[in-house]
Amino acid sequence: MCSRSLANVDYDSGVGVLDESNVTPPSKRCSDVYDSGTRYKCEDTWTDVSPRLGLTYQWSDDIFGYVVASRGFRSGGFDGRPTALSGINDYKPEHLDSYEIGLKTLLADRRVRLNTAVFYNKYDDKQVLLSFGTTVVTQNAAKATIYGVESELEAAVTDRFTVRGSVGYTKGEYDKWFDPNAFGGPADYSDRKLRNTPEWTANLAGIYDMPAGAATIRFLGNLSYVDDMYLDSENAEILHADARTLVDAGVFYIAPDDRWELGLQGKNLTDEKELVSGFNGLQFFGYAEGFYNPPRRYFVTLKYNSK
């Protein structure tokens, strides 16, 4: 896998940018400024081999196991919007070594499906987006580790009632992240949490089909849980999302032969309001931007299957 990154940026010293024509950009991959100190050029090529090895074993007709090891690659690059020539920055490629072992099973005369996977991911030179003063840069945060376990269950409790569920545990942490050039002085960020990495996630759904003559009335309920997490790499408390539990439900009329379906659904019935994404611009813009999950909503749906 080969990636090539090229950046050309114009500077106009008459529009809030100082004339720094005697300043050499800090990145060795960037040329000296030219054209009266208003232009510079950054260019480099990164090449990497990303192998993947997998082993599978069919223990029986109902039990299947696998082991997978792979290496991922994300190209290096350049920050395209520095506010001064001294802020021209490049960042190195990110590498990921990933390992997973899993088991897929059919139980109880194939009425229960249970899949479980354990994973371990090791990042090297992980890329993170940070704000320093009036500059937003991508930085390599040295090493990070993410590991955990995920399980999925589907069970036909009766011919009419089906239960589906999943649970996941993820632990994400930086093993080493020291920035000698941090805004305000050298800093050790190794204790920060990885962004968008909740420790626990879970989901439980129930589906019940009730005969209505030749048609079917289907009842559906869903309960989902996401643990608290940080939404930015700097772990700003204003972008700390609390744990949330969402409840959805619906009832559907399914015509004979499944030709058409009429449904009434409700999403987020308890009207939970929690942050789900955001951007930390406190140092750059003086504010942080956050987005919340949708409020309580109701839907009427009509589907037709032409077959």
Closest CA to 191 of 179, 204, 175: 175
Whether 166 contacts 154, CB under 8 Å:
no
Whether 193 contacts 240, CB under 8 Å:
no
pLDDT in tens, 200-232: 999 999 999 999 988 999 999 999 999 999 998
Whether 113 contacts 74, CB under 8 Å:
no
The residue ranking higher by pLDDT, 162 or 32, is 162
H helix runs in 78-120, sequence order: none
Q: Would you place residue 128 in the very low, low, confident or very high pLDDT band (cuts 50, 70, 90)?
A: confident
Whether 154 contacts 163, CB under 8 Å:
yes
Whether 169 contacts 199, CB under 8 Å:
yes
The residue ranking higher by pLDDT, 14 or 102, is 102
Whether 240 contacts 196, CB under 8 Å:
no
Tokens of 68: 């997978």
Instruction: Give percent of the chain with pLDDT exceeding 70.
Output: 79
- DSSP designation for 193: B
**Residues 24/188/183/275 CA torsion (nearest 10 deg):** 120
What are the structural domain ranges in the chain? Answer: 200-307
pLDDT of residue 249: 98
Q: pTM of the prediction?
A: 0.81
What does the chain come to in residues?
307
pLDDT of residue 183: 60
Alpha-carbon span 84 to 134, nearest angstrom: 10
Q: Of 4-18, 96-110, 230-244, where does mean pLDDT reach its minimum?
A: 4-18
Pairing assessment for the beta strands 112-124 and 178-179 based on DSSP bridges: unpaired
Contacts of 28 (CB under 8 A, 6+ apart): none
Give Cα 43 to chain centroid, integer Å. Answer: 29
Q: Would you place residue 68 in the very low, low, confident or very high pLDDT band (cuts 50, 70, 90)?
A: very high
Three-class HEC string of 31-59: CCCECCCCEEEEEEEEECCCCEEEEEEEE
- Mean pLDDT for 44-73 is 93
